[in-house]
Structure 1
Amino acid sequence: MTPLITEVCSAQNIPSPVVFGATILGIEATPVTNFSHDAGTPYSVWTKSQFAGLNFCNVSVTYTHPGRGDEIHVQTLLPELDNWNGRFLGASGGGWSATLGLLNLIPAVDAGFAVADTDAGAPVNSLSSESWALLSPGNPDIARLDTFAGQALHEQSIIGKSITESYYNQAPAYSYFAGCSQGGRQGNMLAQRYPEDYDGIAALAPAINWSQFFAGMFWPRQVMYELNYFPQPCEVLAWTAAATEACDKLDGLVDGVVSRPESCSFDPFSLIGTGYKCDATSMTFTTKGASLVNAIWTGPRDEEGAFEWYGYPVDTNITSVVASTTCDTTGHCEIRPWHLPEDWLRLWVAADPDFNLTNMTRLEYTELAHAGLNHYDSIIGTRDPDLSKFRDLGRKLLSWHGVADEYIPVNGSLDYHGRVHELDANADDYFRLFLAPGVEHCLPGVGPYPTNVMQTIMDWVEKGVAPEQLVAQNVSMIDPTTGELFGQGNRTEGMGRPLCLYPLEQEYVGGDGDQLSSFRCVAR
Structure 2
Amino acid sequence: MVDALAHPFSLQAGLQKPIGQLSSAANNLSPFSTPFSCYSDSFPNFSLLGAEIRSLEASLVTNYTGWIPSGWRFSQPSIDIHNASFCNITVSYTHPGHDDIVNVEAWLPTKDWNGKLQAVGGGGWRAGRFILSYAGMAGAVADGYATVTTDAGLGSAVGPASWALISPGNSNLYALHDLGSQTLGDEAIIAKHLIKSYYGHEPTYSYWNGCSQGGRQGATLAQRYPTAYDGIIAAAPAVNWAGVFISTMWPKVYMDVTGQYPQACELEELTQLAISTCDGLDGVKDGIIASTNDCKKIFDPFKYVGSRFYCPSLENYTNLSPAAAAVANAMWTGPVTAENEPTYLHGLEMGTDLTKGALTNCDSNGHCTGVPNVAVKLLMGYFIGKNPESNTTRISFKELERAYRSFRQQYDSFLGSDDPDLTSFRDAGGKMITFHGLVSLRRLIADPTIPANISLEYYQKVLALQPDAPDFYRYFQVPGLEHCWGGRGGQPIALFDQLRLWVEKGTIPESSPITITKPDNTGEDRILCPYPENAVFDYDTLGSPPGWYCV
SS in 1 for 2:228: coil
SS in 1 for 2:71: coil
Q: Which residue of 1 aligns with 2:118?
A: 89
CA contact (8 A) 2:263 2:324 kept: no
Q: Which residue of 1 aligns with 2:108?
A: 78
Shift of 1:379: 1.7
Q: Structure 2: give runs of 5+ residues left out of the alignment.
A: 1-30, 442-448
Q: Which residue of 2 aligns with 1:453?
A: 495
2:394 is aligned with 1:359: yes
CA contact (8 A) 1:14 1:163 kept: yes
Cα distance change, pair 277–357 in 1 and its aligned pair in 2 (3 A): farther
| 1:58-457 equivalent positions in 2, closer than 5 A | 58-81=88-111, 83-99=112-128, 100=130, 101-124=133-156, 126=158, 128-264=159-295, 265-279=298-312, 280-308=315-343, 309-320=345-356, 322-327=357-362, 333=368, 335-337=370-372, 339-340=374-375, 342-406=377-441, 407-457=449-499
Shift of 1:94: 0.5
Cα distance change, pair 7–397 in 1 and its aligned pair in 2 (3 A): closer
SS in 2 for 1:397: strand
**Identity over aligned pairs, percent:** 36
Q: Structure 1: give runs of 5+ residues left out of the alignment.
A: 477-485, 487-491
Q: How far apart, CA to CA, are the structure 1 residues paired with 2:219 and 2:243?
A: 16
Shift of 1:511: 8.9
Q: Which residue of 1 aligns with 2:77?
A: 47
Q: How far apart, CA to CA, are the structure 1 residues paired with 2:354 and 2:87?
A: 42
SS in 2 for 1:42: helix
Q: TM-score, with normalisation over the residues of structure 1?
A: 0.91
Q: Which of residues 44, 48, 60 is equivalent to 1:31?
A: 60
Q: How far apart, CA to CA, are the structure 1 residues paired with 2:251 and 2:408?
A: 19
Spell out, residue by residue over 1:96-149, the C-alpha distance to the aligned partner (whole angstroms, 9 max, x if none): 0101431221111111110010000114472x2111111111111111101110
SS in 1 for 2:161: coil
SS in 2 for 1:435: strand
CA contact (8 A) 2:70 2:493 kept: no
Q: How far apart, CA to CA, are the structure 1 residues paired with 2:36 and 2:243?
A: 51
Cα distance change, pair 348–49 in 1 and its aligned pair in 2 (3 A): farther
Shift of 1:369: 1.5
* Amino acid in the other structure paired with 2:434: S
Cα distance change, pair 459–179 in 1 and its aligned pair in 2 (3 A): same
Q: How far apart, CA to CA, are the structure 1 residues paired with 2:467 and 2:515?
A: 31
CA contact (8 A) 1:56 1:79 kept: yes
Q: TM-score, with normalisation over the residues of structure 2?
A: 0.86
Question: How big is the alpha-carbon RMSD for the aligned residues of Structure 1 and Structure 2?
Answer: 2.4
Shift of 1:52: 3.5
Q: How far apart, CA to CA, are the structure 1 residues paired with 2:274 and 2:415?
A: 35
* Amino acid in the other structure paired with 1:516: P
Spell out, residue by residue over 1:280-333, the C-alpha distance to the aligned partner (whole angstroms, 9 max, x if none): 32121111111101000000111112222010111011223x223455666565
Cα distance change, pair 329–15 in 1 and its aligned pair in 2 (3 A): farther
